[in-house]
């Protein structure tokens, strides 16, 4: 029997997310700036945003650093190309009308150097007048989410516990997600995964985007789609 892991629990964990609304919001932001339909999703996960943008008429490719995520998205949505790549080393040299990256994927970068490399790669993969849209969490959002250091959510078939620690020396937040998945006879299987996130300030994001050549379009706080998050839009203008 195949061992269940974090990626197998991902869609259940995200079942509260309004992915349809996410996709519509991204599409309206893209349409304001370009009529182009060629998109790249960075950190495509299990493919839920990519499939919705595909259904809205876009031609989309997804990349993800996790091979397990790529295997899941490729199995679910065979009509979309998903590749196992990192935004820190984009092998794909195509140019897109828009690059999107949602659900704080940018916070998975772990230093300002990595932010610089990722933004440069993304800038180089966008056509003139194309856009880059992404969301991040800020310090206030992380602190209010984890005011007790721990957050738990009990559901019918699984319970999820998130544990948070901040490493001052590294300036990184560590989040451990622990799933207790109900199996037969009311036994629970425990699955856990730790990941590090860097919380960039607004100034760091604006400065870095400007330094690599982007023009600022907008910044908004959205609380409806998936809890509070900040959505930025930048444009490449040659």
By CB under 6 A, name the binding residues for ligand SAM: 14, 42-45, 48-49, 63-66, 69, 86-88, 102-103, 105, 108
CA–CA separation, 108 and 64 (whole Å): 12
Give CA 112 to chain center in angstroms: 18
Using CB positions, name the residue nearest to ligand SAM.
Answer: 45
Tokens representing 224 are 């409806």
Q: How far is the CB of 226 from ligand SAM (least distance, A)?
A: 8
Q: How far is the CB of 21 from ligand SAM (least distance, A)?
A: 12
| Contact between 122 and 99 (Cβ < 8 Å) | yes
Q: How far is the CB of 194 from ligand SAM (least distance, A)?
A: 13
Q: How far is the CB of 125 from ligand SAM (least distance, A)?
A: 13
Of 37 and 196, which has the nearer Cβ to ligand SAM? Answer: 196
Of 49 and 209, which has the nearer Cβ to ligand SAM? Answer: 49
Of 34 and 177, which has the nearer Cβ to ligand SAM? Answer: 177
Of 7 and 34, which has the nearer Cβ to ligand SAM? Answer: 7
- 3-state DSSP assignment of residue 227: coil
> Which stretches of the chain are assigned E, i.e. beta strand?
38-42, 59-64, 81-84, 96-101, 126-136, 150-154, 158-167, 172-182, 188-197, 215-222, 229-235
């Amino acid at each position: 029997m195949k061992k269940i892991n974090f990626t197998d629990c991902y869609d259940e964990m995200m079942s509260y997310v309004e992915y349809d609304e996410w996709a519509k919001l991204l599409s309206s932001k893209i349409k304001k700036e370009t009529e182009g339909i060629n998109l790249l999703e960075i950190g495509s996960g299990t493919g839920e945003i990519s499939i919705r943008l595909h259904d809205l008429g876009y031609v989309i490719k997804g990349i993800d650093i996790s091979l397990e995520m790529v295997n899941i998205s490729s199995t679910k949505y065979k009509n979309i190309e998903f590749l196992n790549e990192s935004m820190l080393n984009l092998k794909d040299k195509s140019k897109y009308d828009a690059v999107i990256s949602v659900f704080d994927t940018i916070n998975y970068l772990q230093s300002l150097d990595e932010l610089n490399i990722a933004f440069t790669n993304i800038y180089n993969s966008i056509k003139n007048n194309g856009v880059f849209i992404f969301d991040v969490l800020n310090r206030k959002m992380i602190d209010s989410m984890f005011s007790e250091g721990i957050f738990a959510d009990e559901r019918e078939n699984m319970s999820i516990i998130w544990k948070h620690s901040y490493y001052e020396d590294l300036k990184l937040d560590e989040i451990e997600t622990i799933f207790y998945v109900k199996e037969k006879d009311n036994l629970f299987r425990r699955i856990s995964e730790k990941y590090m996130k860097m919380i960039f300030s607004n100034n760091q994001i604006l400065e870095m985007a400007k330094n690599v050549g982007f023009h600022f379009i907008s910044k908004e706080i959205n609380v409806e789609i998936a809890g509070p998050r900040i959505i930025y839009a930048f444009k490449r203008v040659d």
